[in-house]
Structures are given as structure tokens and as C-alpha cells.
Amino acid sequence: MLTALYIMLGLALLLGAALGYAALKFKVEGDPLIERIDAILPQTQCGQCGYPGCKPYATAIANGEADINQCPPGGDEGVRALADLLGVEYKPLNEEHGQTKPKAVAFIEEDLCIGCTLCIQACPVDAILGAAKHMHTVVASECTGCELCVAPCPVDCITMEPIEETPDNWKWKYPTIPIKPVINLK
Amino acid sequence: MDRSPYIANAPSVSNIMLKVLIALVPGIIVYAWQFGGGVIITITLATITALVTEALMLKLRRRPIKPFLTDYSAIITAWLLALAIPPLAPWWLIVVGTAFAIIIAKQLYGGLGYNPFNPAMVGYAVLLISFPALMTKWPAALSLAEAKLSFSAQLDYIFNQTLPASITLDAITSATPLDYLKTQLKLQQSMSTIQSAPIFGALGAKGSEYVSLAYLLGGLYLWQQRIITWHLPIAFLSTIAVISGIFWVIEPSQFANPVFHLFSGATLLAAFFIITDPVSGPTTPKGKVYFAAGVGIITYLIRAYGGYPDGIAFAVIFMNICAPLIDAYTQPRVFGHQE
Amino acid sequence: MSAPINIASLFRKTKDIFSFHGGVHPPENKAQSTCLPIGSLELPEKLVLPLRQHIGTIPKVKVAVGDHVLKGQLIAEAEGSVSAAIHAPTSGAIKSIDNAIIPHPSGLPDQCVTIIPDGKDTWIERSRQDWRNGDVNTLIASLRLSGIVGLGGATFPTQVKLRKNGKSEIQTLVINAAECEPYITCDDMLMRERNEQIVLGIQVAQRLLGAANVIVGIEDNKPEAIEAMRLATANTDIQIKVVPTLYPSGDGRRLIQLVLGKEVPHDKRATQVGIQVFNVATVVALYRYFEFGEPSLSRIVSMTGNVAQPQNFEVLFGTPLMHLVNAAGGAKPDTTHYIMGGPMMGFNLPSTDVPITKAANCIIAASPTLFAPQPPAMPCIRCARCAGACPVSLQPQELYWFAKADNFEKAQDYNLFDCIECGACSYVCPSNIPLVQYYRYAKSEIIALDKAKEAANLARERNEFRLARIEREKEERAAKHAARAQGAKTAKGEENKTAPTTDKQAAIAAAIERAKAQKAAGNNPPKNTTDISDRTKAEIEAIEKRRAKAGITDDMPRTIDADKQAKIDAAIARAKAQKAAASKDDTTTTASTTKQPVADAEKQAKIDAAIKRAKTLKAATAKPPTSDVNNKPVADAEKQAKIDAAIARAKAQKEAALKAKDKQVKED
């Protein structure tokens, strides 16, 4: 009886020591949590989450101040990725913060632009070029589609243009729905 | 066809499964010839049970019934299980075993293509653990039996457990050689004495050695039809032969010879029909060799040292667990990559 | 073999033909379209030339609607490093330049130039180039105007494949004449009828590459072509190697393995191990370009399947599909649609209105009898027949699980991107699973996700940069404010009027100095490498390494979206114009704006108009100007910095684009 106890005790100590050693020896130097959350966020910097940008939102999530379902551009997949990372339950996107829209870029109607620079100041990623009193233009490839420039424009010359599907960005579809050949013979 | 490739040339799943069934037919015929028609009754019962439970489960799972019933995979499970259990066992034994195999081991995991374990072997293991006494009551080969049961008498026995007045149970059953070997070795009998018992034949057990040869024939047909590759059967049989050969050479008085092991029990049935189940086995050529060798080693160890006369079912189930791991570690070299 | 002894044969291993893993042997169906010789077509009523006919950048249109063009005249010129020109296949008038459906699996419209032929077929002036003795580099450079792309179907610009980058010497030229896909016979017929031109074409390619050995790989199901090629190569050192008929032997890497026994490493191109592969039709195009000055205007197309008389035709690019179908006797009534390419790798044409392009080696009229609808897919039973058929030794059954479950990371671990989408796995699948579709889906998703990730990283960096800048400006303002307060305290009275001005002047002067310095350093564009994160640095390094590996140097023309280039040009021009305007208005002249490259006239005009508009608006508007006039030079300098940053960014993007292209580009 006593021998058994000793053996168990000895085993427990031994394994405990081994585990402790392994924890020190093989410690994974991980990214800080904020960085890892930030890596999932789409970097739209749109502020729809209620924070001034993706990094502040990531910080808020890491500190437990914000929920994971406040990022419409990240969409359902983003929420899932966050839930996965943080080991919490998935929850649908909070509608209060907006809905997921197809990706779009800002477009400035250059004939209307009065060159007020308000949009330039609003752009979180410096994707709008231009100078005071001269028309501005959006570098489409840098635009994150955050829509922050739309509201400040005094002449409403900024519109959000959805990104069109072209043979360049076209993707093969998931092969479940059989695609009927679109054809008009004769 | 709306997407390339627009052409295909492959036997359908049904076609493949049907060929497996065809390959089993010679074995069944020889079985019935050597041990009486009881096996036909068991197979029929198993087939009906399998189809009914499969249809029921598909309906419950809201899956199309017709394509999955006509893929014949349930019938293969049924036949393999029926061939693995004693043919004169009460009717409910095969029904319970088959139902368990189809419902629990196959459909609950997602049906065809999703079962991690060989359903027939799961059914067999469940029966062996739950009803050990019934699972060891094997009929004697007709050439050895003291009495013969007519077909209707066998039917009567299977359904009512009643024998004609003149015949005792002992007259129609006998121990299998693997069983006999185990008990006699425990009684300190020498190997030569044991093997001179009438139930031993030239290769394995009298009667069942012919069945094994018929399985071999069916297996060669499957190989010729490219339903199976050589890897699994060859690796399995050679492992059994080598490992039993080593033990036999070291201590011939304690261990049976390799030929006996190859032709006894379900060795050949397993080699060509059980371990070749693609769904629960590995897919890489190297993995197949490891898998089959694993089954062979465990089978032999159970036969030589375990508590059961034959160990194929447990060996297969154990190696099924390892199949994904084996696959992961035996990925072939991809073109243009270093080893 | 009748090939004479050459150096290669001395080193030849005992084995002449090697083999690759897997492969399938579908019914050939080649005999139907080889009964008749290569036919020619009448001029169609219109020719629709998609700009996207090759891998790489869309070429830049050089004609306008209403222009009259001659046969062989340049319509669109190659843009960036990987691109190909497009020429008028006949003389006629440019009817339109707009979107039309192109032969692409997406079925989406794209930029096309439509020509109405005048029926005269008048050639532009052509000149022969001495390809036997001429300077190799000049010859290769001139190919940029040829419009020649790989005619095996991959459509990789040939000039790019020949361009020397001082990296690797080509020892062996493999001519791909395997033509392993069922139904397709265009190369077969080309070899039968134009064997002499092929040999001359091979000699052109051999000269340009400096390759010592040439091997022509032909599948053994083309005895007539093999005979013709043997005849034509009798007195040359070109080797003919007959490979067994096994799909996909015509895949570049597979053919190299077959004829040389060399496995091209998965992360290298064949050229990096001294081998170049050309399609047999491509070398003929090369020969015709140098010998006769003919750019790439037509190709041989197999018109086969469910038509009255399958046949090969010499077809001008841009020819409407139905024109070709009718030449083959028209489609039979039960034709449902048309397939471009072979039955293993082809795709459904989205409409009957599409033109024939450089990639169109074969058009198959499809009917339910020719291509029976497949029964619905069953679950995978892991039979591993697909693994047995895969020519790349992949495990398609595993890739299928991962692709199906969107487990892209794992799919890449199992080398998804080594898949050549040959379709052998689907061909042998008993469960009728559209395996290749899953791989295509997974690949395009992964590429899109990678792009999104890159864009997100860029946005993050830009946002961080902006925040840092705002912070810095705030500090500077605070410091200035403090200094001013200090100055007010010490100077008192009248001096406090001048002090801030001098302060401001000094700041302006400093800003100008900075701008000038930046401009002086203009040849060495700012790389923004001072205050970036280590990760970014590592990324940049990785990119540089990749670029170096790919042989790209800074002075090479970069591949860049025409669109993007135009935008950048416009942005620079606008910024410049603004600066010019600003300096005009200003008392302080900066006088440093003329150094930059001149934007093209059209843009200049637009900018002028914009300035005028802006000025009128300024005059008309009651709004007070938002920024202080005195601050302008400072703002200018800042803007200059912004522009510089934008240029640097554009460069980074270019590199990213190159990288993305690298991923996609495969050998012909």
C-alpha cells in the first residue's frame, strides 16, 4: 500500500519536473496578443467598430473591452478567425456596427472637386493625393474602402465604387453548384 | 460535363464494390461445400439486415437512398461479417452484428467514405466481446462431422436453436485448429501431437484450407482487375509468414509453422478482402506496406500470446486508428522535390 | 534512330526515353481532324482582338477608333517586362475599342479592338532580319514587336523566354511536339506539312539561345509527323525522340523528364537548370518573324468534335468562333456548346461570339454524345487511383479533403501549387469527384487571400506612418508655439511682429532645401528604409532576393498595370502642375520643378484644364481658402515628400505585382 503511494508520488514529481522543464525549454516566443489580433483585422481603418482604427480595436479586444464581432469589413470569416485565436465562442456580426459590404474603393468626381483637402485629412492611409484648391484623386490600389472620406466632402463628389470582377481578379468557384453553360446557339 | 476534364474513364464505386462481391463468391461456394449451407443463410440474413439498416439510416440522415444502396458497400460489410462468424450461430447474432456495423461503425460516422474503422471488423469485435461462447461454436467440416444437418435442419437450428432428436450439438461442431492449438499448448501438449489431430489438414485446417484457397483465387481476380494493389496482401502475408517462421524456427514445439498460419483462420480473407478496405486504410503505397505489416504482427501476437484464438479484427481496428498517421508520414516524394 | 552522332549522344545514358509517374491514356480522337490538310479561311466580316491574349501585362493600345490599319501593323505594344504586342491580322478600319466577351473561363468581358477588314489584305512594309549572323541581343530585343507567345496554349511571351539575364546558360532546347491532349492535332499537322519551316525555326531558337543540343519530343501516336520531322532533320544535329503516348507527356516538366531524365526542381524554372522548352508552332512563328518580317497574326487551330468535317485551319487571330465552325461544315444539330483546348484541360467558351486567340489550339464542338454528362459525385472512398494517376506524385485525395474544407494552409503543405491541373485525377476517379475544380478553387482563393493580406499589411504600415506623422507634426507645432512664446517674452514690443515671420521664413527655406535635396537625390529613389519595422525590412530583403533570383534589376522596365502607371503619371503630373501653380502664386519662388520627366501631351492638356477649372472655382467660390497662403511652400515640401512616398510605394507595389506574377507564370 505504502509502496504504491510512494511510486505514485515519485511518478507525479518526476512528470511534474519534466513538464516544468519542457515549459521553460520549449517556450514559444509568441507575438503579443494585440499584434496577432491586428493581423486578422482587415486594416480598413474605417472605425466602424467604434475605435479610431484597427490597432486600437485590437488593443481593446486584447484588454477585453471590445467584443470580437464589431468589424463589418472583416466579415463573418474575420469573426471566426478571432474566435479561433482567442478561444471564445463565435457570434454573428453585431449589426449595430454595420454590415459587410462588397469591397469598394473611393472615387472622386474630379469635375466637382473643389480641392478642400478635407478628404485628404480624413483618409487613414494617405490614399488621396492632391493639394489645397486643386482637385484630388484617390490611389485606388491603396484605398481600403473605409468610406471615411465620403462624409467630410462638402460637395459630395466622392462615391464608393464597388470593385468589379475582371478576368484578372476572377476566382474559380467552389465546385458544388453546377454552372450551366451560358450559350445561345443560333 | 461543364468543366474539364470533360472525359472520364473509371469504374464506378458500384462497379468496384460489385467486383469485390464477385471475388467473394468462390470462397462462399467452397465454404458451403465444406461446412454446409448454413453460411448461405447467414449471408442472406446479413445482407437483408445491412440493406434495411443502411436505408433506414440514410433516411434518418436525409441522404439519397438509391445511390448509396446501389453502391453495394453495405453488402460487402454484411458478407465479410457473415463469413467471419460461425454460420450456425443463432439468427439474431448476425443481425445484431451487421446492424451495429452499419449503424454505429459506418453511418454514424458519415456513411460511405467517412468510417474510420472497418465496419465488418467492428461488428465482429463487438460480437466476440459480447457473445464469446456463441462466437466459438464453429461447425465441424462435413468430412469430419459425426452427423450432417440437412439444409432445413440448419435453418431450424439457426432460427430456433433446435436440433433433430438424433443429433447432439457436439456431433456437428468442433474446435477450430487455432482454438485447439491454444488450448492444447496450455495443456503442455507437443506441437506434433497437436497437429496430428484430425482437424488439421495439409495446409491449415481441414475444410477451411480449401476456403482459404478460394479466397486467394478471388484476391487474384481483384488484383488482376486493379481493384486492389499488391502492397497490402503481399505485405500482410509475408509479415505473417516471416514472423511465424522466426518463432517456428526458434521453437518448433511451441509454435505452429508459417504455412499453418497463412491458411488458418481468416488470414487470406483478411489479406484480400478485409485489410484492403480503402476507406479505413492508408492510401500511400509505403503506408499500405506499413499498415499491412502492422496488422500481420498484431495478428500473430494475438494468436500466439493473446486471449483470443484469432486476432485479425483487433489488429485491423488498431491499425485503422494509425492509418492517418501512417499516411502523414509516408507521403511520396513529389515531382521536383527533394526526398 | 537515324540521327547522326553528336556530342549529346556521347554523354547519353543507356536509357534514351525516361518515364514519369502516373499519367492516363484517354481515347485519342485525333484521326478525325487529320484527314484533310490544313485549310485556310476566307476573311471574316470582323476581327475582334482581345488585348489579353497572353500571360502578363495588358499591352497598350496604339490606334484609335476610325484609324485605318494595314496587315501586320502594331495595334497594341508590349507594356512592362512580361507582355506581348498585338498586330492587325489584316488591313482594315478600327471599328471600336471596348469591352467584349473574351475566350476565358470566367466568361467576363475584357478590352478588345475590333477591326472591319477592307478585303485587300494589304501588308505593312516588312523586312527580313539576318537571324543566322545578326547580333543575338538585337534580334531578341526586336522580338518585343513580334507579338509571339507560346503557342502550345500557355501563351507566355516568347521574348521573355529568350531574354538573356546573365543568369543561366541554356544547354538544351526541348521542342515540345508531344501534343498529348486528345482531339488536338494542330502540331501534328504542322509537322506533317511544314517540317522544313520547323527545322529553320528550331535553328532560329537555337541561335538565339545558344543551346548546344536540340531534342524534339513527339508522342508515338503521330507516325506521319515523326517521319516528316526525321526527314527534315536528317542533316542536322537535331534529335527526334519518340515518347510513348501517355497524357500529360506534353507538360513541359514531364517532357523534360521523358527526354532528358531530369527532374526540374519544383521551385525552379527549366531555364535555371539549362533547359528551355518551346512549342513546335512557336519556333515556326519565330522563323517567319525573322525571315519574312511577319509578326504573330495567325495560328493553326484544330476545329473538331461535333462538326460536319473536322479539320485544321490557319486562323487569323480575332476570327469569330462561328466563322471557323462554319468552315468545318458547321456544327451538328445536337451541339450544346464549344470547348477551347482539349477535353482534359480545356474550358467551356462562354458564348459563340468569342474570337480565336493566340491560346486557341483547338476548338471542340461538344455534344452530350461526345461528352456524356457525369453521374453525380459520390463520397471519396480513398481508393487512391488519383494518386496513382498524378504525374506530379501528389496525393489528390488528401488535397481534395483540404480544398473541400477550405483548409488552405494544409493544402499548401501538401504542395497544392505543384498541381498542373492536368485532370488525370478526375479522369480516373470512381466517385466522379471534380477534383481539379477543387484545386483551381483552392488555388485562386489562396492567391486572393495572399493579395488581401498584402493589401492589409500595406494599409497597416501606411496608417502607422500617418499616425506617426500626425504625432510628429503636433510636436513640431507645440515646439514652434513654445519658441514663439519664448521669443515674445524676450523681444517684447515691436520685435514680436518680425520674429515669427523670420521663423516661418527659415522653416520655408529649410523645407525648400529639403525638397531640393530630395530632388537632387532623385536618381536614387527614397526607399523609406529608415523608420520601418524589422519585419518589413525582412520582407523587402526577401523581395530583393527574389528579384535578384528572377534576374530583375532596377533598370529593367517593370511590369506594372497600365492603369496604375497612368494613375501614377497623372498623380505626379497633377502634383507638379499644382506646384507650378503654387509657385506662380507665391512670393517665394522654388524654381525647381522642371527636372521631372514630361508627362505626355494629352495628360498635360487635362491637367491644364483642371488647373483652369480649379482657378475659376477658386474665383467663383465664396469659401475662404482653408490653408494659410504663407504656409504654402511648407505644404509644398510636405506634398513633395508625399509624392516621393507615393512613388516609393508604387515601386513597392510593382515589386509585389512582380511577385504575384512570378507565382503564376509557368513555362510554356
- For an interface test with A, the pick among C51, C106, C340 (most A C-beta atoms closer than 10 Å) comes out as C106
Residue of C nearest to B3 (CA): C347
- For an interface test with A, the pick among B1, B3, B4 (most A C-beta atoms closer than 10 Å) comes out as B3
The dihedrals phi and psi of B225, each to the nearest 5 degrees, come to -85, 5
Residue A181: its chain B contacts at CB < 8 A?
2
User: Which pLDDT belongs to residue C492?
Assistant: 57
User: Which pLDDT belongs to residue B149?
Assistant: 82
What is the grid cell recorded at B310? Answer: 484469432
Share of chain C above pLDDT 70, in %: 70
Q: Is the pLDDT score of C164 beyond 80?
A: no
When mean pLDDT is compared over B190-199, C152-161, C243-252, the highest value belongs to C243-252
**C198 in Cβ contact with C226 (< 8 Å):** no
User: Which pLDDT belongs to residue C562?
Assistant: 57
User: Which pLDDT belongs to residue B311?
Assistant: 87
| Interchain pair C382, B113: CB under 8 A | yes
Q: What angle do CA C56, C57, C63 make, to 5 degrees?
A: 130
**C276 in Cβ contact with C284 (< 8 Å):** no
Work out the pLDDT band at C592, boundaries 50, 70, 90.
very low
Work out the pLDDT band at C611, boundaries 50, 70, 90.
low
pLDDT higher at C42 or C523: C42
A141 touches chain C (CB under 8 A): yes
Which is nearest to A33 in space by CA: A41, A22, A25? A41
- Give dist(CA B255, CA B263) in Å, integer: 15
- For an interface test with C, the pick among A108, A110, A125 (most C C-beta atoms closer than 10 Å) comes out as A125
Burial of C419 (0-12, 13-18, 19+ CB in 10 A): buried
Nearest neighbour of A133 by CB, restricted to C106, C350, C618: C618
Nearest neighbour of C444 by CB, restricted to A110, A171, A184: A171
pLDDT tens digits, C366-416 = 999 999 888 888 999 999 999 999 999 999 999 999 999 989 999 999 999
| Interchain pair B1, C375: CB under 8 A | no
pLDDT higher at C28 or A101: C28
pLDDT tens digits, C86-141 = 999 999 999 999 999 999 998 899 999 999 999 999 999 999 999 999 898 899 99
Q: Is the pLDDT score of C559 beyond 50?
A: no
B10 touches chain C (CB under 8 A): yes
Residue B2: its chain A contacts at CB < 8 A?
178-181
DSSP for B229-285, written as a single string: -SHHHHHHHHHHHHHHHHHHHH-TTTS--HHHHHHSTTHHHIIIIITT-TTTS--SH
Q: In what order do the strands lie in the sheet with C347-348?
A: C39-40, C311-316, C298-305, C362-366, C337-340, C347-348
Nearest neighbour of C263 by CB, restricted to B12, B278, B336: B336
pLDDT tens digits, A158-182 = 999 888 888 888 888 888 644 344 4
**B274 in Cβ contact with B312 (< 8 Å):** yes
Nearest CA distance, B287 vs chain A (angstrom): 30
**C640 in Cβ contact with C571 (< 8 Å):** no
Nearest neighbour of C335 by CB, restricted to A44, A125, A185: A185
User: Which pLDDT belongs to residue A178?
Assistant: 45
Chain B residue set in contact with A, beta carbons under 8 Å? 2-3
Average pLDDT, chain A: 85
Map residue C244 onto helix, strand or coil: coil
B15 touches chain C (CB under 8 A): yes
What is the grid cell recorded at C484? Answer: 514663439
Residue B283: its chain C contacts at CB < 8 A?
382, 384, 387, 395, 397-398
User: Which pLDDT belongs to residue C198?
Assistant: 95
Nearest CA distance, A174 vs chain C (angstrom): 6
Which is nearest to B154 in space by CA: B308, B245, B41? B41
Residue B8: its chain C contacts at CB < 8 A?
374, 426-429, 432
| Interchain pair A135, C610: CB under 8 A | yes
CA pseudo-torsion sign A183, A185, B5, B9: positive
**C572 in Cβ contact with C599 (< 8 Å):** yes
| Interchain pair A175, B3: CB under 8 A | yes
Q: Looking at A64-78, B32-46, C218-232, C499-513, which range is the least confident one?
A: C499-513
| Interchain pair C380, B9: CB under 8 A | no
Residue B73: its chain C contacts at CB < 8 A?
381
What is the grid cell recorded at A64? Answer: 477585453
What type of residue is C235? N
Residue C392: its chain B contacts at CB < 8 A?
334-336
Q: pTM of the prediction? A: 0.79
| Interchain pair B284, C394: CB under 8 A | no
Instruction: Show which of residues 9-68 on chain A sit within 8 Å of chain C, judged by CB atoms.
Output: 38, 41-45, 53-55
Residue of B nearest to A178 (CA): B2
Residue of A nearest to C330 (CA): A186
| Interchain pair B3, A179: CB under 8 A | yes
pLDDT tens digits, C314-333 = 999 999 999 999 999 999 99
Residue of A nearest to B3 (CA): A179
Work out the pLDDT band at C223, boundaries 50, 70, 90.
very high
B8 touches chain C (CB under 8 A): yes
Nearest neighbour of C610 by CB, restricted to A110, A118, A172: A110
- Give dist(CA A50, CA A44) in Å, integer: 13
User: Which pLDDT belongs to residue B233?
Assistant: 96
pLDDT tens digits, A92-105 = 888 888 888 888 88
Nearest neighbour of B113 by CB, restricted to C267, C372, C380: C380
- For an interface test with C, the pick among A119, A172, A185 (most C C-beta atoms closer than 10 Å) comes out as A172
Q: In what order do the strands lie in the sheet with C47-50?
A: C47-50, C109-117, C92-101, C68-69
DSSP for C312-361, written as a single string: EEEEETT-BHHHHHHHTT-B-TT--EEEES-TTT-EE-S-TTPBP-TT-S
**DSSP β-ladder status, C311-316 and C298-305:** antiparallel
When mean pLDDT is compared over A24-28, B10-14, B27-31, C604-608, the highest value belongs to B27-31
Q: Is the pLDDT score of C422 beyond 90?
A: yes
Nearest CA distance, B230 vs chain C (angstrom): 13
**B73 in Cβ contact with B65 (< 8 Å):** no
Residue A182: its chain B contacts at CB < 8 A?
none
**C374 in Cβ contact with C432 (< 8 Å):** yes
| Interchain pair C437, A172: CB under 8 A | yes
Could you read off the pLDDT tens digit of each residue along chain B, which spans 339 residues? 468 899 988 889 999 999 999 999 999 999 999 888 889 999 999 999 999 999 999 999 988 888 888 899 999 999 999 999 998 889 999 999 999 999 999 999 999 999 999 999 999 999 999 998 888 888 888 877 777 888 888 888 888 888 887 887 777 888 788 888 888 887 877 777 787 777 887 777 788 889 999 999 999 999 999 999 999 999 999 999 999 999 999 988 888 889 989 998 889 999 999 999 999 999 999 999 999 999 999 999 998 888 887 889 999 999 999 999 999 999 999 999 987
**C55 in Cβ contact with C82 (< 8 Å):** yes
